Amino acid sequence: MYHFIVNPNARSGLGKSTWNLIEKELIRREVDYQAYETKYQKHATKIARKITETDGIHQLVVLGGDGTINEVINGIYDLDKVCLGYIPIGSSNDFARGFHLPKEPLEALGYILDTPSYAFMDVGYITYKENKKRRFAVSAGIGFDAAVCHEVVVSRLKKFFNKLGLGKLAYTGVAFSQIIKSRPTTMTITVDGIRHRYENVLFATVMNHPYEGGGFKFCPKADSTDGELDVIIAANISKLRFLTLLPLAFKGYHTFAKGIYLLKGKTVEIVSDCPLPVHTDGEPIFLQRELFATLEPKKLKVAQNK
Ligand SMILES: Nc1ncnc2c1ncn2[C@@H]1O[C@H](COP(=O)(O)OP(=O)(O)OP(=O)(O)O)[C@@H](O)[C@H]1O
């Protein structure tokens, strides 16, 4: 049986209408399914936990954005007892990009029901303050990129742009204001025991997939099945220069620029001189000074387009 976890609110209500379309198709095809609509923040975590704490292998399908994916993977009880399908309808969709999943919902459903090719995905997690833990599928970052996520959540811009079908523009607009406000700081970043110190850091992000922030290919070589995390650090780079690099980052052409550093490893410890916003898959975790990122020992089976 397929368990569909649906965020009706994703992309300002598009979730609900997309689900109606999907459900008609499930009925037409006589698919055995059960649907659960999220009613509030973190509800998807509770739903996923309830389904997966029972015995057996569980087929979960998420209909929502990267935020809902993040909530669901945080609820999964035993990662290797789950097979995850995804119908992307969020505004950033970086998880879907990583697996080349189609945006068209019925086509995406086809990849789950008809042609199941699976990736065995690494699942990252960070620990921070007093051993709090949060998993991530796409990325976890500290500094500018997390500040953008925080601001997008609290401002009304995303709702407004989503209504126009231009959700990504909300991130672009907020990125401009946040870059002006951001205060670069010193960070010590230790990857697999090797210590690096960077001055004037705008942000440091640990990535499982190549894309974050709605299509920025920040770590072009990130491979969510290679058992390692990729790290991008933007340091000692003027704000203006960074802004000119952002369009190049859509194609991953920013990596040769001065001030962009890429690292790779199994464990990443980040210590910032001052507290900065943190995010996992675009979901804010308020101000932190230190975080530790690594991978879960078990992988997650994900339906992909290959
Ligand atoms: N019924 C609901 N009402 C309000 N918020 C909800 C509800 N269900 C889920 N949420 C919250 O919606 C947030 C965003 O969801 P989601 O990521 O699916 O869509 P999105 O923000 O449109 O897409 P993206 O993250 O790709 O930009 C999550 O933080 C989740 O907690």
Among residues 60, 87, 122, the one where a domain terminates is 122
Q: Residue 131's pLDDT is what? A: 86
252 and 174 share a domain? yes
6 and 133 share a domain? no
Domain assignment of residue 71, yes or no: yes
Domain assignment of residue 177, yes or no: yes
227 and 161 share a domain? yes
CATH number at residue 158: 2.60.200.40
243 and 280 share a domain? yes
Domain assignment of residue 204, yes or no: yes
CA separation, residue 156 to residues 181, 279, 284, 296 (Å): 19, 19, 16, 35
ipTM score of complex? 0.94
Q: Which residues pair with 88 in a beta bridge?
A: 64
Looking at the CA of residue 64, tell me the nearest atom of ligand 1. Answer: 18
Domain assignment of residue 301, yes or no: no
Domain assignment of residue 170, yes or no: yes
- The CA 181 to ligand 1 mean position distance, Å, reads 26
132 and 227 share a domain? yes
The 3-state secondary structure of the chain reads CEEEEECCCHHHHHHHHHHHHHHHHHHHCCCCEEEEECCCCCHHHHHHHHHHCCCCCEEEEEEECHHHHHHHHHHCCCHHHEEEEEEECCCCCHHHHHCCCCCCHHHHHHHHHCCCEEEEECCEEEEECCCEEEEECCEEEEEHHHHHHHHHHHCCHHHHHHHCCCHHHHHHHHHHHHHHHCCCEEEEEEECCEEEEEEEEEEEEEECCCCECCCECCCCCCCCCCCCEEEEEEECCCHHHHHHHHHHHCCCHHHHCCCEEEEEECCEEEEEEEEEEEEECCEEEEEEEEEEEEECCCCEEEEECC
135 and 218 share a domain? yes
Looking at the CA of residue 70, tell me the nearest atom of ligand 1. Answer: 17
Among protein residues, the one with the nearest Cα to ligand 1's atom 10 is 41
Structural domain of 162:
124-296
- The CA 265 to ligand 1 mean position distance, Å, reads 31
What are the b/e assignments for 214-244, b being 16+ CB within 10 Å? Answer: bbbbbbbebbbeeebbbbbbbbebeeeebee
149 and 241 share a domain? yes
CA separation, residue 220 to residues 27, 183, 207 (Å): 40, 26, 10
Domain assignment of residue 303, yes or no: no
89 and 190 share a domain? no
Domain assignment of residue 302, yes or no: no
Max CA-CA distance within the chain?
Answer: 59
Ligand 1 binding site (Cβ under 6 Å of any ligand atom): 7-11, 38-43, 64-68, 71, 90-93, 282-283
- In a structure prediction context, what are the per-residue pLDDT tens digits for the chain, which is 306 residues long? 999 999 998 887 789 999 999 999 999 999 999 999 999 999 999 999 999 999 999 999 999 999 999 999 999 999 999 999 999 998 778 999 998 899 999 999 998 999 778 999 999 999 998 889 999 999 999 999 899 888 877 776 666 666 666 666 667 777 888 888 888 999 999 999 999 999 999 999 999 999 998 889 999 999 999 999 999 999 999 999 998 998 899 999 999 999 999 999 999 999 999 999 999 999 998 899 999 999 999 999 999 887
Among residues 59, 94, 122, the one where a domain terminates is 122
Q: Residue 167's pLDDT is what? A: 62
Domain assignment of residue 304, yes or no: no
**Within 10 Å of residue 92's Cβ, how many Cβ atoms?**
28
- The CA 149 to ligand 1 mean position distance, Å, reads 13
Q: Residue 14's pLDDT is what? A: 85
Structural domain total, the chain = 2
Q: Residue 162's pLDDT is what? A: 63
Among residues 77, 95, 122, the one where a domain terminates is 122
71 and 201 share a domain? no
159 and 277 share a domain? yes
Q: Which of 37, 40, 68, 138 should be mutated for ligand 1, with most atoms under 8 A from CB?
A: 68
Residues 6+ apart with CB under 8 A from 249: 216, 217, 218
Q: Residue 168's pLDDT is what? A: 63
* Residues 221, 228: Cα–Cα separation, whole Å: 11
pTM, two decimals, is 0.93
152 and 268 share a domain? yes
* Residues 262, 5: Cα–Cα separation, whole Å: 35
90 and 206 share a domain? no
Q: Which of 5, 6, 7 should be mutated for ligand 1, with most atoms under 8 A from CB?
A: 7
Q: Which of 5, 6, 9, 40 should be mutated for ligand 1, with most atoms under 8 A from CB?
A: 9
